[in-house]
Chains A and B, each alone.
Chain A
Amino acid sequence: MGGYLSVVIYLVMIVAFAIVSLAVARVLRPRRPFAAKLQTYECGAEPFGQAWVQFPVGFYLVALLFIVFDALAVFLFPWVLALRGLGMWAVVAMVVFLAILGLGWFYAFRERLLEWQ
């Protein structure tokens, strides 16, 4: 259990730092709000409407297909770096993996998920 004590201390310090710095800032900072200042700052578009609206399900399909592509990239980079040491077996394994993903892409293509409707 002794090994975990440092984790607990770390956790307490993280939470304490957040609470203390927010509280101190609240006490010290001047408060002069106006409309432009309360807008979304730099990151993100201007907000409009409610968040509780229906999305076209097509967005999710595109997102899913993108994740498949992403996962492929995540596996490909370390594979390329380690390939020299692993030899032929690694090539075969990756070809099988690519074939499985390719099958999914082929299915998506046949289901016309790649065309935006």
Chain B
Amino acid sequence: MTFETLTLLVPELALFALAVVVLLIGAVRSSAYVGRGPLAEVSRGPAGWTTLLGLGATFILTFTVREGASLLDGAFVQDSLALFAKRLFLASAAISLLGSLTLRTGAFSRRSAEYHFALVASLLGMSVVASARELVLLFVGFELMSIPLFLMTGFLKREAVVPEAALKFFLVGTASSAMIVYGMSFVYGVAGSTMLSDIPPPLRDGPPLLMLGMAILLAGLGFKIAAFPFHMWAPDTYEAASPPFVAWLSVAPKAAGFVVIIRLYLAGVGTAALVWTPVIAVLAGMTMVTGNLMAIPQRNIKRLLAYSGIAHIGYMLVGLAALSSSGVAMMLFYLVAYTFGNMGAFLVVQAVAQSEQSDGIDAYRGLAQRSPLLALAMLLFLLSLGGIPFVAGFWAKLYVFWAAVERGMYGLVFLGAVLTVVALYYYLLVARRMYIDAPERPEPVQVPGLLGVAIVACVIGVVGMGLYPAPWVTLAQRVASTLFS
């Protein structure tokens, strides 16, 4: 390991150092010593702010890494896809943090350091996952990403539904990890190596055991991205955990899962990867149908957003099913648009939940009269998720469908277009509550300052990408083109 290797690992080393610092803050200001001595004053302050600053610094440090470098004999790459994903993870984590810094819940102030330590540890896992081109490293990264997520889901352990949701997430998560490692064992058995570069591309004329291993791996990854039929954990988990965390949970681990799918099934394979199109297309179709139809009857806004999130995973799989450079590019664009729209919606949920003590859709009655700006922000997020022109989601859906049409998948695109209308129905149900129904109480919803900043950031993202998508499209195409050379 040379000095040059270390310079290439700068984002990961920075995250590791940040995790150590945050844990030390927690140890010095331990909750066990509340009420004694000079360290008694425990606040949510230092750990959270340190994490936020650290994430910002790490984000800047990702730009110092030489793009396209590979280290540890090719087991770890800092290519443009990895760096793109890392910046997405860091930015979404920072937005989520802005939302959770203002949480008034006791657990968040008492155990602030543990929460932020888990967040940084999970981010480190995601960074490793995004760069790993070796099976064991990939698995370790996945575990490092997932285990803190279980902890963070169960963070408000005193509330009634939380332990159940955290346990479900934990069981599903460990089962999916087991499937991933089982699939990997087949792949290793065939290839005799854990390096992705030594594994033959999984093609139709390839060894059957390799195909079996890759199929099992895809199922394991399906759990991680919550694609049908592996989506059952998402609504329960989202309902129980705190909204700013869910905003991040619904975005970053999914992005990590997609990066791994791209690396395992597509990168460097070229058009021969089309053998996977039927599998991914069926997965995409079923995920879109399930997510959209199950969202309709929901009365809880978090469950509604959970099912709509599943549907969005389906749309992203449509882009992936095209298995082309443009398909991957459009999927990455969709991922960014979905990040802003979905995180923004969950942050508004946090604001309303904090003021109304309710996650029901009925809590949004007359929000437009009470807090017009908050209602407008929510409307923009919902329209973006629904795919209305001039907000980000419209271009995302259009581009993804366009990539699929290029491959002649008219049926899948037609299904997706029909389901977009279905999705608009349940998004507009929420909008009707906000704009047409009369409010139950006149006073405006209080939005804490930092949460407001996070919501505004998401609004800028959604509207900016909607009005001027060109730079994001160029970026996504540049990232995708390096994979298909």
Contacts and interface: CB of A to CB of B under 8 A. Distances in A.
A113 to B, nearest CB: 9
A112 B26 contact: no
Contact of A103 (B20, B28, B30, B33): B20
A107 B23 contact: yes
Interface string A104-115: 001100111000
B23 A103 contact: yes
Contacts of B20: 103
B416 to A, nearest CB: 41
Interface string A80-115: 000000000000000000000001001100111000
B27 interface: yes
A32 to B, nearest CB: 44
Interface residues of B, number: 10
A107 B32 CA distance: 11
Among B23, B24, B27, B33, the most chain A Cβ lie within 10 Å of the Cβ of B27
A110 B32 contact: yes
B191 to A, nearest CB: 15
Interface in B1-44: 20, 23-24, 26-28, 30-33
Contacts of A111: 27, 30-32
Contacts of A103: 20, 23-24, 27
A75 to B, nearest CB: 15
A95 to B, nearest CB: 14
A108 to B, nearest CB: 9
B168 to A, nearest CB: 19
Among A103, A110, A112, the most chain B Cβ lie within 10 Å of the Cβ of A110
B24 A112 contact: no
Contacts of B30: 107, 110-112
A106 B113 CA distance: 14
Interface of A is mostly: helix
Contacts of B23: 103, 107
Nearest to B24: A103
B116 to A, nearest CB: 13
B210 to A, nearest CB: 13
Contacts of B33: 110
A8 to B, nearest CB: 14
B27 A106 contact: yes
B32 A112 contact: yes
Nearest to B1: A89
A112 B34 CA distance: 12
Nearest to A93: B1
A111 B113 CA distance: 12
Contacts of B32: 110-112
B420 to A, nearest CB: 47
Nearest to A1: B209
Interface string A3-28: 00000000000000000000000000
A112 B31 CA distance: 10
Contacts of B24: 103
B114 to A, nearest CB: 9
A10 to B, nearest CB: 17
A22 to B, nearest CB: 29
A5 B447 CA distance: 66
A88 to B, nearest CB: 13
Nearest to B207: A1
A111 B27 CA distance: 7
Nearest to B30: A110
Nearest to B26: A107
B155 to A, nearest CB: 16
A92 B78 CA distance: 25
Interface string B166-188: 00000000000000000000000
Nearest to A111: B32
A109 to B, nearest CB: 8
Nearest to A100: B20
Interface string B45-57: 0000000000000
A107 B21 CA distance: 12
13 contacts: A103-B24, A103-B27, A106-B27, A107-B23, A107-B26, A107-B27, A110-B26, A110-B27, A110-B28, A110-B32, A110-B33, A112-B30, A112-B32
10 residue pairs, one from A and one from B, having the closest CB atoms = A110-B30, A110-B27, A112-B32, A107-B27, A111-B32, A106-B27, A111-B30, A107-B23, A103-B23, A103-B20
Interface of A: 103, 106-107, 110-112
Given A107-B26, A107-B30, A112-B32, 18 more contacts: A103-B20, A103-B23, A103-B24, A103-B27, A106-B27, A107-B23, A107-B27, A110-B26, A110-B27, A110-B28, A110-B30, A110-B32, A110-B33, A111-B27, A111-B30, A111-B31, A111-B32, A112-B30
